[in-house]
Structure 1
Amino acid sequence: MVVESSWTIAVAPYLVIMRQFIAGSITGEEFETVFLPLYKRDPTRWPADIFRVLDGVFADVDDFVFDAGLRNTVGGLDENALREKVERAYILLL
């Protein structure tokens, strides 16, 4: 999927934070801290294809569990698994 030019500016904040996480410039916890409020407060009425990608990242972040002990008990994604999912989503948004 290629984001139409009319949506490029609106999706840019997501691409920036995703790129930082993929590159390892920020941790999974930092990504979660920025992504969740950005997504939850975003009033944009996204086209269905963009919405599916962003909503998928939201679900993945929601499934992310930083604490390994807790993750062993409750399940969820570790940082590497989250990074892989975010990278796939990032590619879809380009």
Structure 2
Amino acid sequence: MNAVLLMFFCLGNILGPLTFRTQDEPDYIPAKIALVATISVAIVSTLVLRGYYSWENGRREKRSTLDAQGLNSEFLDLTDRENEHFRYKL
């Protein structure tokens, strides 16, 4: 996930300055529209992800029957999907 984030960060650094064209000055309306659109997509994506994490935490709480205190699941090399005792921090 870090690699994907870094790729999009680099892509934004490459494409961002290209939206501010000299023929659009002094208002740069197309660049401002692009900024508002990308920030809006980021906000919606964040809210959707938070909703999914909340839903997943609730689902795991309902399915959880074992006491997680006695388990050393952090050393089992499990992903967040494989480890049923993992809870997303909100």
TM-score (norm 2): 0.31
Structure label with greater radius of gyration:
2
Structure having the larger proportion of residues in helix? 1
TM-score (norm 1): 0.30
